[in-house]
Structure 1
């Protein structure tokens, strides 16, 4: 079986984990095609760990945006026209990078895994605290390509109630398969510590992930909790300081917030060992890996009840669901901090659920079964 993946990032944890597991359980030949704004060669091919990687050169991000993505779309389309007959099936990972616009016309079985949904994400852009730069144009364009071309894709892999509802609405005749994503292996380590004091946040300074709301909530609880807030992801302390100063968050002192930057899985677990919860006050999300990985490691999660998040968390059982109001986020933080029995119960239940949900062997087998079903039914 020759399978072609279209993916914007071959090193994404879920891409890498699924690819490795598929090669373990079957003898498929896997090719992963992506694109690069910076490489000099038109096409770069390499074999690594039994996988064939193809990277296509596309114009700069600025030119990509100015051309409404059509140059990139047509470069990928032209290349696919030349090679698609070598494969039995194309698996498109996500709709955010318009791969489906380049491939929909091909007479070959195809399936698209929903990741984020730009047509839904763009709806939060009107909020005054969300960015108002080139990303607004990028998301609105991407949303157009979702609405216009996802109707032409017959098969989808979904994970949550939210992405299933979106697909049913935009493409009522589509075949929808359910499957989760594998997570990074180190998060199988159980890190729960009843004496942990700190609060973890993964999302950097991306305003959609809710750093502002969390800092306001942290300010409300700081005099009651001896906690430090650990911010992971792309973020500078100057950004945190600006939010604190603009919001008059005077309860937060120097040293109360640690900007830890990007961390690999092992380094994240080191942070989690000293935390009593992860807070994920996102404006919109489908099934955020940061929530899933924390659950798998046994770190209790407080998350905003948006998008597909409630498919991951049963309130008061496998986590706490909250609104985006900082006052409610603060109340949930205090509840989890003071109620150690609830904390331990959530840790254990969420870990058991996450272990089953993200069983890499089962996910790989389901993926293989989906491929076989789609190829069998392809007309």
Structure 2
């Protein structure tokens, strides 16, 4: 069976071309799928490259250029002016033509699209080959939670100051999100098959694609976290908290500041909080009036999987502050390592965490309960050990790569048979 992936990342392509080893959970899954002799895999992704396709070790890669030339940009600007929606639609149309070229060249039995965030899902209208979309982050509910409490659209637009260029850039970013959200609804309407792993993404499928068929399929994790030494309670007078987040405001950087402030000034916890994935919280500091340096937050920037693994093994607790999420791999990685997790009960989090059993979930925008829960875990070994043990059991079962691949192949076969019956 020939299976074509459309992915938001280049998986292991750049490792083969440049030697850069980005790793990643998709590479982990691909490595297991490569052992299946009945599957021939093609992978297409957005990446500036002169090659239309390149076959490496049995996998055919299709990098699709994601940059327009200067002339194309000028023509688009002249043709559509400031109408961003028309410019975005024109761009999508050009991409779809390239995606169709990839499909015609690879001739897949099944097309597997990873996520609704990009424009890959638009191909559902342009092919009769079975297409299934694996749900990742879902834009419409993300847009609903785009602004943290007490932060408005105006705050977002002027978050970088009153520079006209920055204001225009931020406004365009927000309008771009709205366009992508509308495009996502169209993708949901036109696709017959979806797969996911949480009650939340199943519910959203039923809302936006009422006649679609939904399959449950878990995700693999990065290799390092399967072999990591399991966590034990840390014997130190100073608690260590670890978080991995990205830059958008809805990821909860402001909540980190509020919680850290409570831990230090009200709960008298001696701690250091390592935050990976970002190197500043300047916007959040400005908006809520709490400085990173005053509340023991250490912003580590991007961390390798090995750095994060080591940080987890020496942590007391992992904290996920996001205001919206489906099933963040950072939480799953912490669980499989045995690190107790405290997270906001949003999106798919209640599928990942059984409260007070495999972790702790707290209401979104509740720094008080989050701070209290962190201190409980950091100061009471019995609670931490119980959560750790149950989290490892749940995560090992959930992220068993062999079972994931078996399930994935069975789904591919169902789709293929539906087309050829």
TM-score (norm 2): 0.82
Match of residue 52 from structure 1: 60
Deviates more, 1:119-128 or 1:143-152: 119-128
* Structure 2 residue 121 is the aligned partner of structure 1 residue 100: yes
Q: 1:156-186, CA deviations, whole angstroms, 9 ceiling, x for partnerless residues?
A: 1111000000101111111110001000121
Match of residue 243 from structure 2: 201
Match of residue 179 from structure 2: 141
Match of residue 166 from structure 1: 204
Aligned-residue offset at 1:226: 1.5
Deviates more, 1:47-56 or 1:171-180: 47-56
Deviates more, 1:5-14 or 1:298-307: 5-14
Aligned residues: 372
Q: How does 1:189-268 map to 2 (within 5 A)?
A: 189-195=228-234, 197-223=239-265, 224-236=268-280, 239=281, 243-244=284-285, 247-249=288-290, 256-268=296-308
Aligned-residue offset at 1:255: 8.6
CA distance in 2, matches of 1:210, 1:254: 18
* Structure 2 residue 2 is the aligned partner of structure 1 residue 6: no
CA distance in 2, matches of 1:99, 1:309: 26
- Secondary structure class of the residue paired with 1:331: helix
Aligned-residue offset at 1:126: 4.5
2:39 is aligned, of 9, 12, 28, to 28
CA distance in 1, matches of 2:263, 2:146: 28
Deviates more, 1:54-63 or 1:77-86: 54-63
CA distance in 2, matches of 1:283, 1:135: 19
Distance 1:72 1:295, change over 3 A: same
1:305 is aligned, of 345, 369, 372, to 345
Match of residue 358 from structure 1: 399
Distance 1:278 1:96, change over 3 A: same
Aligned-residue offset at 1:52: 1.4
2:103 is aligned, of 78, 84, 107, to 84
CA distance in 2, matches of 1:40, 1:360: 31
Distance 1:312 1:220, change over 3 A: same
Which sections of structure 2, spanning at least 5 residues, go unmatched?
Answer: 12-22, 77-83, 158-169
- The RMSD of aligned alpha carbons is 2.4
* Structure 2 residue 54 is the aligned partner of structure 1 residue 15: no
CA distance in 2, matches of 1:83, 1:201: 39
Match of residue 129 from structure 1: 151
- Secondary structure class of the residue paired with 2:113: strand
Distance 1:355 1:74, change over 3 A: same
Q: Say whether the 8 Å CA contact 2:124–2:187 is kept in structure 1.
A: no
Q: 1:300-351, CA deviations, whole angstroms, 9 ceiling, x for partnerless residues?
A: 1000001111000000000000122211211111121122111011111001
CA distance in 1, matches of 2:222, 2:272: 26
Q: Say whether the 8 Å CA contact 2:252–2:321 is kept in structure 1.
A: yes
Which sections of structure 1, spanning at least 5 residues, go unmatched?
Answer: none
Match of residue 18 from structure 2: none
Match of residue 16 from structure 2: none
Distance 1:352 1:49, change over 3 A: farther
- Secondary structure class of the residue paired with 2:250: helix
CA distance in 2, matches of 1:142, 1:207: 18
CA distance in 1, matches of 2:322, 2:397: 25
